[in-house]
Amino acid sequence: MAKLFPAILPEHEAFIKKQRIFFVGSAPLDKNGHVNISPKGYDVLRIFSPTEAAYLDLTGSGNETSAHLLENGRITLMFIAFEGAPMILRLYGNGRVVVPGMSEWDNLVKHFDPLPGSRQIIVVDVHEVKTSCGFGVPFFSFSGDRDTLQRWALSKGEDGLVAYRNEKNAKSMDGIVTPIGQKLFDLSCSDAPGKLDENF
């Protein structure tokens, strides 16, 4: 049976901290746009208060969540028990994206272990927590984190990662500009007005 809560309770936080993976859901406002669900591994999630959580987001081939948050702010985080007692827990909230160079970055990033390829922090203001049974979720055993993403980021180097993000992470698959793309466009306009007009 589903239960609703106005904030993250201590037992919710304890459950969240045990999970090795969580899922992030977001969507554009356009009804024809793509709903996105992203899995997140590693120890990247932090709970700052009963109504605020954040996760360190690593460089990848897409950047859908970031674009959706800039457009409309809606986000859901979902945690599932793959071991032990069944449980599904969702955090519903409004999110924002913090990228390096923003005033919040230095204060936030110190809460996370440094990981290669870190590109932004997603901060979620939680307005509702929902728990449900999860009786249909199968058992899975955790055997370890993959190191492929970190090795890939290290092989790119910082300059390579910046170039990759500028190429791959500036817009969503529906063409919605991300904060990374917005920053790139602002820099381009100041250096060479009109340079990115056809792309944004």
Q: What is the distance between the alpha carbons of residues 67 and 34, in angstroms, rounded to a whole number? A: 12
Q: Please write the tens of the pLDDT for every residue from 61-70.
A: 999 999 999 9
pLDDT given for residue 198 in this prediction: 42
* Structural domains present in the chain: 3-136+144-190 (2.30.110.10)
Label residues 93-103 b or e (16+ Cβ within 10 Å = b): bebbbbbeeee
Q: Please write the tens of the pLDDT for every residue from 152-182.
A: 999 999 999 999 999 999 999 999 999 999 9
Instruction: Name, in order, each residue with C-beta under 8 angstroms of 148's C-beta and a sequence gap of 6 or more.
Output: none
Element (H, E) at 62: none
pTM of the predicted model as reported, rounded to 2 decimal places: 0.92
The helix-helix angle for 179-191 and 148-168 (nearest 10°) equals: 50
